[in-house]
Structure 1
Amino acid sequence: MSGARTFTADFGLNTLLLDERRSVIRANLTDKLRSPAGGAALGFLVTAVDIVTSDPALVAGGGDWTATQDLSLHAVTAPKDGPLFVDANLVRVGKKTVVVSADVYDGHGREDLAGFAREIDGGAAGKPCGPTLAARGLVTFARLPRHAASHADLYTPGQWVGKVRGHPEREIDGDIYERLDLRVVDAAAGVLELDRSLFVLNQIGTIQGGAQALLAEAAAHAMRPGLVATDMLVRYLSQVRSGPARSYGTVVRDATDHSVIDIRLVDAGDDERVLALMTVTLQRP
């Protein structure tokens, strides 16, 4: 998959595994990756969190592969400047799951990963000219046999400690939503579709969790135009075998300043088997 054209190819991702329990990632914040309100798109943040938390999870897995099971991300403030940094820390290692926390920051022009980590450790977050906390998240990974993932032997995070790794970067057409070629079937009901293509597949052959989050975010935006998604809770239940992935939305709450929408993702080509259950909170910009 190295060098492949994927929907994350223009994120400008660089990661640094500081030690076996902690990893940080830097990502671009270009106009293509912004929400309608001008901040970082929620699905973009979820994607970066999903990627960086997998490094300490894989190390902790002791040879197992890991797959995202649950993910939550709650906004503190909308990152505007960039680049984005995510600080991922191992929380718990169990026999069947691994839990990793994630703090998302607006770097306000910073570039150096190790320098960012030192600033955070020194208490610079929130101080004048320091990184700004933008969101907090928690990710639970299921432990799987390593043979469940293709090219698993290329992923040896235990050997990456102290090394900055750049991910192949290419120019991608369209903004963070357009690039996925989502099909709107029924905007009012939040019914959108996303094909199972190489552009969005992960190592175990299903649609990448971040792409599924973007589908859910787009569905919520379609149901409540004018509001912007800020928080997401995701429970991944099964893999996309056939596709397309299809979303269905249900309004949980409409208030004067926000809405809460449940999104159910199904595999439309596999008897609408449930893929994920998501809750999206949207606010007025």
Structure 2
Amino acid sequence: MSENSISTSQRPSVSMNQRTFTADFGLTSLQLSKERAIMRADLHDKLRNDAGAAALGMLTTVVDIVTSTPPLAVCSPDWVATQDLSIHTAEPLTEGPIVVDTHLVRVGKKTVHVAAQIFDGRGSSGLEELVAALDDGALQPAGRGLVTFVRLPRAAAAGSGYYNPSEWVGAIHEFPREHIDGSIYSRLGMRTLDARAGVLELDLTPFVANMIGTIQGGAQALLAEHAAHTVLPGFVATDFQAHYLSQVKVGPARSHVTVVRETKDHAIVDVRLVDAGADDQVLALTTVTLRRLPFS
């Protein structure tokens, strides 16, 4: 993402007090150190896919949020933006809560890399209880992720002065919580233009925007996931890889799906996201792996 592509005065930005599509995730985080952060999220019916498990786009959103806090803690006063993100799930997460444990891997002059492990909390609700279970090895990873962030001037994130993970070490941080109607897919208001080709649109609004004024990486992942499901009904997404190339300047974000492989039990699709209001500038190149229902 180019620093020169940022124009926060012309695009929506989001603050902690603003209602977003994540408001009913029940997000709670603990910054154990500047290099390690843990986040828990609720798992209820509005956040599940057709297999009854946590939707991949929901997992991607949580991973995107919590993996950003170690880079922000160690790179302060710089800001960071997601550049590449991959998630691979080993088994469906069905009970909850969702738990993501992140560790800083490498800090460079231009990029920062963070690893994530995803767990099913198996009914444990308290964050401190979950941390103890993680450290004791009582929870088995249900998925893994790796996220690369690019460093930006903090001025790129309008109104972010209050958001300082370096000051959160040792403290539990709760994100604003509010009821939201609709499933994780329907709440975003995505429009289907061509189901067979996976052409869907998602508007740039404060409901899906991040602090630098573009559509949040998790919301883009949900667009790609839903587009893949639209082209291949009867499949559910299990793995996701994204290269975020530019920021949404105008919107809507529009998806285009290419089926790479389809077999009896799985499929692989490429989903290209473009800014339909800015001459189809490419926003992200994503690959989604799906499994056919019902799971064996």
TM range (shorter): over 0.9
Query: What count of residue pairs does the alignment treat as equivalent?
Result: 279
| Equivalent pair of 2:124/2:130 in contact (CA under 8 Å) | yes
Q: Deviations over 1:203-237 (max 9, x none)?
A: 00000000000000000000100000000000000
Residue 134 (structure 1) shift: 1.6
Match of 1:110 among 124, 130, 145: 124
Match of 1:90 among 65, 89, 104: 104
Distance 1:89 1:177 in 2: 29
Match of 1:14 among 28, 31, 46: 28
Distance 1:260 1:205 in 2: 31
| Equivalent pair of 2:74/2:166 in contact (CA under 8 Å) | no
Query: Does residue 1:227 correspond to 2:235, yes or no?
Result: yes
Q: Which residue of 1 aligns with 2:203?
A: 195
Distance 1:74 1:2 in 2: 29
| Equivalent pair of 2:235/2:292 in contact (CA under 8 Å) | yes
| Structure 1 counterpart of 2:259, one-letter code | V
Q: Which residue of 1 aligns with 2:194?
A: 186
SS in 1 for 2:219: helix
Residue 119 (structure 1) shift: 1.9
What are the equivalent positions in structure 2 for 1:1-285 lying under 5 Å apart?
1-126=15-140, 133-285=141-293
| TM-score normalised per structure 1 | 0.96
Seq. identity, %: 58
Residue 96 (structure 1) shift: 0.4
Q: Which residue of 1 aligns with 2:3?
A: none
Distance 1:20 1:251 in 2: 41
Distance 1:125 1:31 in 2: 23
Distance 2:243 2:16 in 1: 28
Residue 196 (structure 1) shift: 0.5
| Structure 1 counterpart of 2:75, one-letter code | G
Residue 154 (structure 1) shift: 1.1
| Equivalent pair of 2:28/2:39 in contact (CA under 8 Å) | yes
Residue 114 (structure 1) shift: 2.6
Distance 2:129 2:42 in 1: 17
Q: Deviations over 1:164-207 (max 9, x none)?
A: 11111111110000000110001110100000011100000000
Gaps of 5+ in 1: 127-132
Distance 2:144 2:198 in 1: 26
Distance 2:132 2:71 in 1: 22
| Structure 2 counterpart of 1:17, one-letter code | Q
| Structure 1 counterpart of 2:236, one-letter code | V
Residue 3 (structure 1) shift: 2.2
SS in 1 for 2:161: helix
| Structure 2 counterpart of 1:151, one-letter code | G
| Equivalent pair of 1:23/1:87 in contact (CA under 8 Å) | yes
Gaps of 5+ in 2: 1-14
| Equivalent pair of 2:33/2:169 in contact (CA under 8 Å) | yes
Higher relative contact order (CA 8 A, sep 6+): 2
Distance 2:171 2:76 in 1: 20
| Structure 1 counterpart of 2:42, one-letter code | N
| Equivalent pair of 1:60/1:98 in contact (CA under 8 Å) | no
